[in-house]
Amino acid sequence: MAEEPTSSVSATGTLADRDDMLDVLFRTHCAALVRLAVVLLGDRAEAEEAVQDAFVSLHRNWSQLRDTSAAGAYLRSAVVRRCRSRQRGLIRARAATPRLTLLPSENLEDLAVEVDEAARMAAAVRALPTRQREVVVARYYLGLTEVQTAQLLNVGLGSVKRHGHRALAALQRGIEVPS
């Protein structure tokens, strides 16, 4: 998970000016936000567009941002909302699978097993209902706490716990180790 910019932010909400702060936010958060959106959407081009839309929205609404130190959280929330919106339109048409980056293995057999396992896990996560998928991504991909996940998804803590439990149970059932 990307860290918030460490530069000091004045009470007026500027670093040196809005564009400098947005530049720092972009360099600090863009790659992680694209990875988040790829996991949620399964398509890199759509993910990049969702992240771009989030940054454009932040730029347009900068003066309405109450706490500039929370701009990273605003961007994450905006990306999740845009991914939800895109999923509604893409879910039937999209058949592409995301490409997961794997560390190089010692031999081709190990690599083949890792690719197979990663593909099965990605398919199982994609098959989860939307809210369960979002909770799994926030908790285990982004490494957020239950409270942070609840805030990000704008749901109650109990909802995060319930959806997380159901998602893990479904994943456990769906990823059976072949004998």
CA 37 from centroid of its chain's CA atoms: 5
* Domain parsing of the chain, residue ranges: 1-96, 106-179
Cβ contact 65:74 at 8 Å: yes
Residues 125-151: what's their mean pLDDT? Answer: 89
**Topology of the domain covering 106-179:** Arc Repressor Mutant, subunit A (1.10.10)
Q: Can you give the pTM of this predicted structure?
A: 0.50
> Has residue 132 got a pLDDT over 90?
yes
Nearest Cα neighbor of 25 from 70, 84, 66 is: 70
Pair of tokens at residue 131: 């809210």
Residues 77-85: what's their mean pLDDT? Answer: 89
Count Cβ atoms below 10 Å from residue 1 Cβ, excluding itself. Answer: 12
Q: What span, in angstroms and rounded, lies between the C-alpha atoms of 83 and 175?
A: 25
Residues 127-136: what's their mean pLDDT? Answer: 91
3-class secondary structure, 109: helix
Distances (CA, A) of 81 to 11, 90, 173: 28, 14, 29
Q: What is the 3-state secondary structure (H, E, C) of 110-144?
A: HHHHHHHHHHHHHHHHHHCCHHHHHHHHHHHHCCC
3-class secondary structure, 96: coil
Percent of the chain with pLDDT over 90: 28
